[in-house]
Structures are given as structure tokens and as C-alpha cells.
Amino acid sequence: MHIFKETTSLRNFLITEQNSSKTVGFVPTMGALHDGHLALIKKSTAENDITICSIYVNPTQFNNSDDLDKYPRTIDKDINLLENVGCTAVFLPDDTIMYPEGKNKEDLIEFNFGSIETVMEGAKRPGHFNGVGIVVSKLFHIVQPTKAYFGLKDLQQFLIIRKLTNALSFPIDVIGHPTERAEDGLALSSRNMRLSESQREIAPILYKALQETKNILESSEDVEKAIEKGTQLIDETNQFQIEYLEITDTKSLKKLDSYSKGQNYAICVAAWLGNVRLIDNILIEN
């Protein structure tokens, strides 16, 4: 597996491959890789001639410096995992490569993603999606992939990246992959590494709450009642601080005022477990 730390060598490698009409799959990550990331790599290797994975903890998408400092970094382990699943190359830029102009948020370009960025994660993490938009745009320009792969656990991020891709006319097929879960239902996430043993045992309650919300919604067709029951299940643990539990349209993320059988929707949750913030969702597409 090739390892690149700066742009020129990566681009030279990619130009050679692309001149041979090879398709390029791309999986951008912030490292601390788990089976969810590896599922994206495997999907890319199955659908493309070569696969590039980037590992970069992007500072501009964090609005909490403590969260940035504590984000897990496991580069050596990540490289071994990527080699084992047949990744062609890994791109390991640092801040000077990604932000030669500096990373002061006040000096960076600003994106406006419309109403889709003002709800849920956008409401709770101001500026987060602007940082995501900047770094993904830079990476897309550098790699120029045929296809790019993202996990649907970060549903709002996926929708914003797809909107970004369309708005800027990137000739890239943006592909979402279903959430990978542990046997007990917990959505795989790099942040799970920060959970204590007791927190890890209770964390799957979030997924159970999503399922309970779905069951109540489809049996009662009452949006408020479904959210109330799901929230109650989480609150009964006395361990979580819920930021939101919402039932939304799957594409616009607008809250559902009412529900009828056969309707497409997403149930999304974010909550703090100790000092670890977890998100999850389930998508219902009939």
C-alpha cells in the first residue's frame, strides 16, 4: 500500500493511474478506523480499480477544542487495517498541507447549505458543516475520485456532501453506505473508543430507543407520542443527556408533523454519555 503525506506525490500517482483509465474510489476519514470504515473500503475496492483512503482530523469542523484534542488517533493501527483490506493508498496530510492559508475559521471561505444545515447537528454544532464542506472540497480537488463513500450514520453530513457535490459540479458519484453496528446494536464510531466499560454497556440504549420510536410511530401514527416514548427510554437510564431525538423527512431533514403508513422518514438522535457525544439514526424507506 502506498503512503502519501503531501499532495504532489499523491497527484502524480493518481494521474498515472487515471491516464490508464482506472477508476478511483475514495474514502475520506478522520482515522481511528473501525469495521464501519473498513466496510466502505471493501465496497470501494469491489467497485473501483484503485481505492484511496485519507486520514485527517480536520480542525475546522470542531467547535469544541476539547473534543478535537481528545479525538482518537491510531495511525499505525489504521495503516495495518487498510493494508489488510486491500486499500491501494492512504493520504496522511497535516494542517500545513490542508490549510496552507491558515485554519483560522474567521478567514476561511463560507458555505451556505440552506435549511438542511440549520437543524440537528448544524443547530448544536455551529460552523461544523462549513468545516466539513471546506475539507471535503479540498480532498475532492486533490483526489478527483470517480466515486466517494460515506457512512449513513452521519446522515446529515452525507446529505450536505451530496448537495455540495451537486452545487459545485464535482463529477463524483457520492455513495452512502448503511450504518455498521456491533452485535448489541451500537452504531460503530471512532468515539466509542472513549467510552468506559460501563458506558459501553449502556450505549446501545440509543439504538433501542430509535427502534422503540419507530414501533410506536408505526403502530400509533402519532409523531409526538413516538418521540416521547423514545426519549423516555433513554431518560430512564439516568446516564444520557439528550440533545435531540427527531423524526424527519429523509432528504430535507424537516421534522414530520404527521405520519401515514408507507411514508419515508428518518429517526435521528444525539446524546452525551459522560463526556462522549454519540449520534445515531435509522432510515425507513418504503
Q: Which residues are annotated as a binding site for ATP?
A: 30-37, 151-154, 188-191
Catalytic residue (choose from 2, 37, 128, 177): 37
Q: Measure the CA–CA gap between 52 and 38, rounded to whole angstroms.
A: 12
The Cα 191–Cα 208 span in angstroms is 19
| Residue numbers belonging to the annotated binding site for beta-alanine | 61
Contacts of 197 (CB under 8 A, 6+ apart): none
Distance of CA 21 to the CA centre of its chain: 29
Annotated binding site: 30-37, 61, 151-154, 157, 188-191
2 in catalytic set: no
Catalytic site positions = 37
